[in-house]
Copies of this chain bind each other. A is one copy, B any other.
Amino acid sequence: MIDVVLADDHPVVRAGLRAVVDSQPDMQVVHETSTAEDLLAWLDDGGQADVILLDLRFGDARMGGATATGTIVRRHRTPVLVVTTYGTDADILAAIEAGATGYLLKDAPTDELARAVRSAAAGEVALGPDVQRRLLGRMRSPSENLSTRELEVLRLVAAGRSNDAIARELFVSVATIKSHLAHINTKLGTRSRTAAAATARDRGML
Give the interface of A toward B (CB within 8 A): 9-20, 59, 83, 85, 106-110, 113, 157-162, 190-199
Contact = CB atoms under 8 A, between A and B. Distances in A.
A203 to B, nearest CB: 12
A109 B11 contact: yes
A9 B194 contact: no
Contact of A107 (B9, B191, B198): B9
19 contacts: A11-B20, A11-B107, A11-B108, A11-B113, A12-B13, A12-B106, A13-B13, A15-B17, A15-B19, A16-B19, A18-B19, A19-B19, A158-B194, A160-B190, A160-B196, A160-B198, A161-B194, A194-B194, A197-B197
Choose among A113, A159, A161 the residue with the greatest number of B CB atoms under 10 Å from its CB: A159
A102 to B, nearest CB: 15
Stoichiometry (number of copies): 2
Nearest to A59: B107
Choose among A13, A113, A190 the residue with the greatest number of B CB atoms under 10 Å from its CB: A13
B19 A195 contact: no
A196 to B, nearest CB: 7
A162 B194 CA distance: 8
B11 A197 contact: no
A52 B74 CA distance: 44
B198 A158 contact: yes
B12 A194 contact: no
B161 A12 contact: no
A8 to B, nearest CB: 9
Q: Would you list the 8 A-B pairs with minimal beta carbon distance, nearest first?
A: A16-B16, A160-B195, A160-B198, A15-B16, A15-B19, A12-B16, A10-B107, A19-B19
Contact of A20 (B9, B12, B197): B12
A197 B59 contact: no
A183 B108 CA distance: 38
Nearest to A20: B15
